[in-house]
Structure 1
């Protein structure tokens, strides 16, 4: 009877170990929803301005494993809010340890209206840890360009701002200051979270 119990325990342990190995294999074989960049995008080191008015560079001030970057503007009627909500929801799907390895930055493309304080508040309304960034429009364009994000300032509006057109991709920058992946605006929070977990565990 003791032998039977011992072999049952051995079999159970083998099953559990097999399950663990299977889980690792699934992670290794994860199919990215986003696009992995090879070669990666360069990242400009121009200093933007964060919500407190302090300089913030996507090179000098990012030391997490991943930094997500999204360009938009506060008065954007639809896409910006949707993408920001997607990123916020994706972050809730990560473990505390994974969250600690990811920064999320929102860069305005409408600095005429989006002051440092306003853009900081806008970002943190989606998640208290999100970082809002602004700066001179030419600096924003210079930061966006190597990430393949088009930013175009159009006609001046009666409000004092400008009609703004901008790319809607989310770009991931790694700890080596390289743009390694991007997602389209229609990525789901579940897809984004799964991709982030895969990139963090590579």
Structure 2
């Protein structure tokens, strides 16, 4: 093959790669871009009722994965969630879903969750399920968690990511926050979704 033919072939390959990249960018923008976060789940609420993600559509939703025996980050995070929603005004908690999905289904029964979430207000819903149900929900939201055995006879804890997920009324991921986020910033992100 002559030098000119090799250059022409190389130029066509560069053009094709560039075109393929452009198509990929267009597809990513059309589909919302970024990784998919969230998805279908079937869990049991703190009243013992089986629920799916569809039961929470129609309102913006804040989801936090944690557990009731959590010594520090989980209660702080749930208080932050409640505070952010309260900043949206009177009755805002009736217009925003707030969910705690346990990462410790072994201990977090519906009754335990009901008692626990009641400490943070009447509208946070605790969700549990089988270990497989929890694993599927955690995978959909890209949540890390694992059991950590206690030392010297202490009860086990759960190591887990500490992220809030904000979903729109259609159940689509909008934004995430950490337990270090400000309530004002969370409220500002929720407000246009109401």
- How big is the shift at 1:153? 2.8
Distance 1:170 1:60 in 2: 19
Distance 1:60 1:199 in 2: 17
Tell me the residue number matched to 2:26.
none
Distance 1:175 1:199, change over 3 A: closer
Deviations 1:46-69 (A, max 9, x none): 311111111122x22112331110
1:183 aligned residue (162, 177, 183): 177
- How big is the shift at 1:177? 2.2
Distance 1:144 1:99 in 2: 24
1:193 aligned residue (173, 180, 187): 187
More strand as a share of residues: 1
SS, match of residue 108 in structure 2: coil
- How big is the shift at 1:97? 5.9
- Quote the RMSD (CA, aligned, Å): 2.2
Unpaired runs of at least 5, structure 1: 1-36
SS, match of residue 61 in structure 1: helix
Find the structure with the greater CA-based Rg: 2
Deviations 1:108-151 (A, max 9, x none): 11111111011122112201011011111221121012212112
How many residue pairs get aligned? The number is 162
Correspondences of 1:43-54 after superposition (within 5 Å): 43-54=38-49
With the length of structure 1 as denominator, give the TM-score of the two structures: 0.71
Distance 1:139 1:153, change over 3 A: farther
Tell me the residue number matched to 1:56.
51
With the length of structure 2 as denominator, give the TM-score of the two structures: 0.74
Tell me the residue number matched to 1:153.
147
CA contact (8 A) 1:110 1:162 kept: no
